[in-house]
Amino acid sequence: MAITRFLKKIDLFITIAANPNWSEITRELLTGQTSYDHPDIVAHVFKMKKEELMDDIYKKHIFGRIVAYVYVVEFQKRCLPHLYLLIVLDNNNQLRTSADIDSCILAQWLDLRSQPLLFNTVKSTMVHGPCGNLNPSAPCMENGRCTKGYPKPFQNCTSTNQDGYPSYARPDDGQCFAVTISGIGNIEVDNHWIVPYNPYISAKFHCHTNVESIAMFRTIKYCFKYITKDLIKQLYNTITTK
């Protein structure tokens, strides 16, 4: 919050989750073992991936020049680490227009024939749910609605809503592919369900990498909740135990 108060803005919010199927993890496992048997290997590989990502962002400037960043790593269920990263871009590299956002963030299927690696990454890691009528028992469902706001509406162009979050371009282009849902089977999924991602990061790291543009100052409260929620939990537990 001190960084945000000084710089008056935050431009990108990135969430990255470890992929237990990374080859660097699976090749170290013995017969019959899974990644959940070796959280030490998962954590070590994730640290290497995180450092490589930060080099891409801060040194190679894949989003442009960076003036500040802050991140926290959280271990969620099954000991899989997640990275929550806030980025402040230089004034000359800010995402001011819909075209700027579209240049680095997508929320749609890509062509399978021309980009098979990225397509498979999106299919395996960047599809939300599905939930709603397709899967009423999905974890994101609450009182009959998705807490994440899916399915998102089709739209041809990216726009920004009153809360400062972009509604990304999700064209009704007819692209629809089957994804497998445990306990349900195959479900046809279109652009309604694609989580926003950066093509370069998704193709390189082959894991869940949600990339969001932050257009207004008040949206920082959402990011701040993620950055500090573990600290708040620890503080609460300390107070209640005493």
Where do the structural domains in the chain lie, given as residue ranges? 2-105+197-241, 127-193
Overall average pLDDT of the 162-167 stretch: 71
> Residues 13-53: pLDDT tens digits?
899 999 999 999 999 999 999 888 898 999 999 999 999 99
> Residues 202-220: pLDDT tens digits?
999 999 999 988 865 555 6
Side-by-side strand order, sheet with 66-75: 66-75, 81-89, 12-17, 209-213
pLDDT at 235 over 70: no
Q: Is the four-CA dihedral 48, 49, 50, 55 of positive or negative sign?
A: positive
Write down the pLDDT at residue 223: 61
Question: In whole angstroms, what is the distance from residue 175 CA to residue 57 CA?
Answer: 31
Q: Lowest-pLDDT range, 64-68, 159-163, 174-178, 201-205? A: 159-163
pTM of the full structure: 0.85
- Candidates 124, 147, 84; CA nearest to 207 is 124
Rg of the chain's alpha carbons, rounded to an integer? 19
Question: In whole angstroms, what is the distance from residue 130 CA to residue 193 CA?
Answer: 7
Q: Lowest-pLDDT range, 8-12, 66-70, 200-204, 232-236? A: 232-236
pLDDT at 233 over 70: no
E strand intervals along the chain: 12-17, 66-75, 81-89, 141-142, 145-146, 159-160, 166-167, 177-181, 185-189, 209-213
% the chain with pLDDT above 90: 44
Q: How would residue 143 be classed by pLDDT, with cut points 50, 70 and 90? A: confident
Residue with tokens 């652009």: 191
Task: Answer yes or no: are the C-beta atoms of 104 and 63 closer than 8 Å.
Answer: yes
Overall average pLDDT of the 107-126 stretch: 91
% the chain with pLDDT above 70: 86
- Write the secondary structure of 156-209 as one string of H (helix), E (strand) and C (coil): CCCEECCCCCEECCECCCCCCEEEEECCCEEEEECHHHECCECHHHHHHHCCCE
Write down the pLDDT at residue 199: 95
